[in-house]
Amino acid sequence: MKQFLVLAAVLGLVAFGCAERKAVAPTQSQEMQQPQTQTPEGSTKAQEKITEQQMAKVESKDIHSKFEEISGMFKDIYFDYDKYDVREDAKQTLKAVADHLRKNTAQKVLIEGHCDDRGTSEYNLGLGDKRAKSAKDFIVSMGVPSSRIDTISYGKEKPVCSEHAENCWAKNRRGHFVLLKGK
């Protein structure tokens, strides 16, 4: 298609006897400012002016949480490698979270699902999502309304331990609990 545009543009020059370079400006991606060489192949004389548009800065808004967040009230729970089912040793913590939510009906909990860093980003986000949800399902099965538990996956993006060894990986494969108060 680009070839065709060039051809059309060249023909246009002949037809209208006009050598205005703007006439052959690429139609796509003018923002990227990639001036194409619009000279016919085999030509021995050609000119080109190279320009580039200055890019304005974009500003991202609303990045940080609006809730009052309390971390550390509950122990992290841990998962096996590439698994997302709740382990026996996690059940005591999950029961404590369920008890707390039943007693404090104005509070919510956010469960973060995390992974070790051996996999790749996106698959690990899927795995962390599954881990947070299986922890949530367990708490819901203890009688806490589903609406009071949020989940989020951080995959391997927020490790607590950065060495490349099993004891460190095991610490990163975790579910982390954050209490949310107010709005």
Q: How many residues bind other proteins (CB under 8 A)?
A: 66
Residue 20 makes contact with other proteins by CB under 8 A: no
Residue 22 makes contact with other proteins by CB under 8 A: no
Residue 19 makes contact with other proteins by CB under 8 A: no
Residue 51 makes contact with other proteins by CB under 8 A: yes
Residue 34 makes contact with other proteins by CB under 8 A: yes
CB of 110 to other proteins, least distance (A): 6
Determine the distance from the C-alpha atom of residue 58 to the mean position of all C-alpha atoms in its chain, rounded to a whole number: 18
Secondary structure of residue 140 in the 3-state scheme: helix
Residue 39 makes contact with other proteins by CB under 8 A: yes
Residue 157 makes contact with other proteins by CB under 8 A: yes
**82 phi-psi bin (left φ>0, alpha ψ -120 to 50, beta other):** left
- CA dist., res. 10 & res. 38, Å (int): 8
DSSP 8-state symbol, 32: T
Do strands 149-155 and 174-181 pair parallel, antiparallel, or not at all (unpaired)? unpaired
Q: Which stretch binds other proteins (CB under 8 A): 17-25, 48-56, 90-98, 166-174?
A: 48-56
Residue 3 makes contact with other proteins by CB under 8 A: yes
CB of 34 to other proteins, least distance (A): 5
Secondary structure of residue 97 in the 3-state scheme: helix
Nearer to other proteins, 12 or 73 (CB): 12
Q: How many CB atoms lie within 10 A of CB 86?
A: 19
- CA dist., res. 60 & res. 68, Å (int): 22
Residue 9 makes contact with other proteins by CB under 8 A: no
Residues 163-182 that bind other proteins (CB under 8 A): none
CB of 145 to other proteins, least distance (A): 15
Q: Quick one: which of 22, 29, 88, 89 contacts other proteins (CB under 8 A)?
A: 29
Dihedral sign for Cα 22, 24, 29, 32, please: negative
